[in-house]
């Protein structure tokens, strides 16, 4: 008692009369109390040197290990109107099962025979391509015939040119002979005229020689005319060759122009056929998109767009689906200061919401209700909550996770680090120091190798 008041109770009341007072003011009481304090100090000192497993705690939720097993919503790539539902919420659907039927809301797709008519248009255009191909072949045959005919005509004109050249050669020989004859006739005439003047020839002989000279001169002129005509025939033959080349070049060019026009029309029609093929395939696929099907085996979670006759835009969420067979995992978040302590393969203990647990964070072996996990991925960029995301998978070496766990439920995680004495952990916590830098043995061995 502090004896603050001037009216002291121990002087007016004898406390030893009471049983509790007798026990307290007994000299043996202090001996027991000292023993108690000594035993407590020994126990506390022993406890302070017990091993304590440092850990990093975090909160997260259950998810799936594979990206293709995550819950998702089903959208329609085309706008439409809901016509019929084939499932209800909670139903199991196999991959490819029809979930709902929709109808078109765009006027260009209202025709129920759109695919059939497009196929007919494509068939007609394909026949036009065949007609153009036959026209091109016919023009190729026409061009070949013109080339053959031009060769024959040119050969004929060249033969005529050769004949004209030979005729010129013959006429030139005759012309030279005529020149020789006129020289002889002139000499004979001069000789006869001289003999007449000397009286050896009669006048009749001189006149005969003059007549012969004139006839020879006429023949020379005639032969010269023939030679000029033959040379003119050579020129005409060359002109004929040029005319044949020009005429058939024009005909062949016209046929080739028609051929190229036909080929251009053929290529244009083939492009139209290809475009119709594309449209036909698109219309077929669009007809198939009128039935919304399940992408995998799973359960229908919730109909986002319910009822009949509701319209929606392309890409709008229609129904949610959850895969039937999933590999569960836990995503948790750690503070940036603890991120260097998280390594791939790190052992983690997980407590799931809804499962009773008794947790001793420093003694995971005696904790109850926690399950083993290991780190399989660490996010490289900070999350919006200011922490880093860590993905945990079940640890095959420990107890299996409960089968009733569902994706989205909460989880509390503890990443197990180095074992230290309890006094060291208390000292670290009081000073606000981070846990000791720790690497799993598997990671250390991997780096050593």
> Do 200 and 120 sit in the same domain of this protein?
yes
- Domain membership of residue 109 (yes or no) is no
Report how far residue 86's alpha carbon sits from residue 157's, in angstroms, rounded to the nearest whole number.
87
> Do 118 and 172 sit in the same domain of this protein?
yes
Query: Lowest mean pLDDT: which of 191-205, 208-222, 306-320?
Result: 191-205
- Domain membership of residue 413 (yes or no) is yes
Q: pLDDT class for 446, splitting at 50, 70, 90? A: very low
> Do 283 and 294 sit in the same domain of this protein?
no
Number of domains forming the structure of the chain: 4
pLDDT at position 405, please?
A: 83
Burial (CB count within 10 angstroms: exposed 0-12, middle 13-18, buried 19+), residue 141: exposed
Report how far residue 156's alpha carbon sits from residue 154's, in angstroms, rounded to the nearest whole number.
5
> Do 128 and 273 sit in the same domain of this protein?
yes
- Domain membership of residue 382 (yes or no) is yes
User: Residue 166: is its pLDDT beyond 50?
Assistant: yes
Average pLDDT over residues 116-134: 87
> Do 267 and 279 sit in the same domain of this protein?
yes
Average pLDDT over residues 138-143: 89
**Three-class DSSP category at 39:** helix
Q: pLDDT class for 435, splitting at 50, 70, 90? A: low
Residue 221 belongs to what domain range? 114-288
Beta-strand relationship, 328-334 and 317-323: unpaired
Average pLDDT, the chain: 81
> Do 310 and 440 sit in the same domain of this protein?
no
> Do 265 and 296 sit in the same domain of this protein?
no
> Do 275 and 341 sit in the same domain of this protein?
no
User: Residue 444: is its pLDDT beyond 50?
Assistant: no
pLDDT, tens digit, 9 for 90 and up, residues 361-414 = 555 555 566 888 888 988 888 888 888 999 999 988 888 888 878 888 888 887
Percent of the chain clearing pLDDT 90 (strictly above): 4
Task: Indicate the helix (H) or strand (E) that contains 225.
Answer: helix 203-288
- Domain membership of residue 342 (yes or no) is yes
Per the confidence metrics, is the pTM higher than 0.75? no
> What distance separates the 2 farthest-apart alpha carbons in the chain?
221
Tokens at residue 368, please? 């109850």
> Do 315 and 226 sit in the same domain of this protein?
no
The CATH number covering residue 398 comes to 2.40.30.170
- Domain membership of residue 136 (yes or no) is yes
Higher-scoring residue by pLDDT: 48, 314: 314
> Do 295 and 283 sit in the same domain of this protein?
no
> Do 213 and 282 sit in the same domain of this protein?
yes
Higher-scoring residue by pLDDT: 179, 298: 298
> Do 136 and 279 sit in the same domain of this protein?
yes
User: Residue 41: is its pLDDT beyond 80?
Assistant: yes
């Amino acid at each position: 008692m502090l004896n603050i008041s001037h009216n002291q109770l121990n002087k007016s009341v004898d406390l030893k009369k009471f049983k509790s007072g007798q026990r307290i003011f007994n000299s043996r009481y202090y001996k027991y109390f000292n023993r108690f304090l000594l035993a407590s100090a020994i126990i506390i000192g022993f406890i302070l040197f017990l091993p304590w497993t440092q850990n990093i705690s975090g909160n997260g939720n259950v998810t799936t290990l594979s990206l293709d097993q995550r819950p998702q919503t089903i959208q329609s790539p085309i706008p439409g109107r809901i016509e019929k539902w084939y499932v209800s919420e909670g139903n199991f659907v196999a991959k490819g099962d029809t979930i709902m039927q929709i109808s078109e809301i765009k006027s260009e797709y209202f025709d129920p025979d759109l695919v059939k008519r497009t196929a007919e248009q494509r068939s007609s255009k394909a026949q036009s391509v065949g007609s153009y191909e036959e026209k091109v072949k016919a023009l190729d045959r026409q061009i070949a015939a013109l080339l053959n005919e031009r060769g024959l005509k040119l050969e004929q004109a060249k033969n005529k040119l050769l004949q004209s050249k030979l005729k010129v050669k013959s006429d030139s020989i005759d012309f030279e002979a005529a020149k020789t004859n006129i020289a002889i006739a002139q000499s004979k005439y001069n000789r006869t005229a001289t003999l007449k003047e000397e009286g050896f020839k009669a006048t009749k002989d001189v006149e005969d020689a003059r007549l012969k000279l004139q006839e020879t001169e006429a023949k020379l002129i005639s032969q010269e005319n023939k030679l000029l005509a033959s040379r003119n025939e050579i020129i005409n033959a060359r002109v004929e060759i040029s005319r044949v080349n020009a005429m058939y070049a024009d005909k062949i060019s016209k046929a080739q122009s028609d051929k190229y026009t036909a080929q251009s029309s053929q290529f244009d029609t083939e492009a139209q056929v290809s475009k119709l093929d594309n449209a036909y395939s698109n219309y077929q696929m669009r007809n198939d998109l009128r039935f919304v099907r399940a992408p995998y085996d799973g359960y229908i979670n919730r109909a986002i767009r319910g009822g009949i006759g509701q319209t929606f835009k392309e890409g709008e969420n229609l129904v949610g689906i959850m895969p039937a067979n999933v590999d569960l995992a836990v995503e948790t978040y750690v503070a940036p200061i603890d991120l260097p302590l998280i390594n791939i393969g790190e052992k983690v203990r997980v407590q799931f919401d809804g499962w009773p647990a008794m947790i001793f964070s420093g003694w995971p072996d005696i904790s109850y209700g926690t399950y083993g996990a290991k780190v399989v991925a660490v996010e490289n960029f900070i999350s919006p909550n200011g922490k880093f995301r860590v993905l945990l998978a079940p640890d095959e070496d420990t107890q299996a996770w409960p089968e009733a766990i569902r994706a989205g439920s909460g989880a509390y995680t503890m990443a197990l680090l180095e074992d230290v004495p309890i006094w060291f952990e208390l000292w670290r916590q009081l000073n606000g120091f981070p846990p000791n830098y720790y690497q799993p043995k598997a990671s250390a061995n991997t780096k050593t190798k």
